[in-house]
Structure 1
């Protein structure tokens, strides 16, 4: 059975969709917001590479992080062609969250680089 989820039609959609899916405890859906070759700088000091590895990290985060997460205030997006730098102001004073997104051939956006900060979470 194929799962249908809302696609990110703008780079700004990614943060909202990520929070919605993590709060729904949907690690697979949250990982689907990342390109197959994406890099996530999490846990702190490490690089998690690839959608499958990111899904595993997100599952551990969901299992241990204080949920629900809140959708945070987006800062202005910087775009250059099919790339976008997005960020949000953290609601938990852990610092800014920064992502690089890429527009795919179908016009949707996926994260290719992510640096989340999660207080008290161990992945």
Structure 2
């Protein structure tokens, strides 16, 4: 998926964007399918500001004994009736979908903030 939109309740964009900075590892390893094989990988995310409500996310895919190209995404937040977190793939071969990355980012944020995901749309 190239684009994913998460509708969130119980948190503001300011709270979300405050935590999306620096570099961190995104959760546990998971299996990534490539060329017909599955490899255990771990993601390292590096966030750089792109305005007040957006971040560029440089994704490094790490796997023991394997090399993968990185991916680049943009994460933006918009407030309204609900808080919307939009994840867009900027560059990369598409090994990681915007929905997959969005869920991993929200998993990390949920360990620090209390909120509910009300709706997810993928494009």
What is the TM-score normalised by the length of structure 1? 0.34
TM-score w.r.t. the length of structure 2 is: 0.34
Structure with more contact order per residue of length (Cα contacts < 8 Å, sep ≥ 6): 2
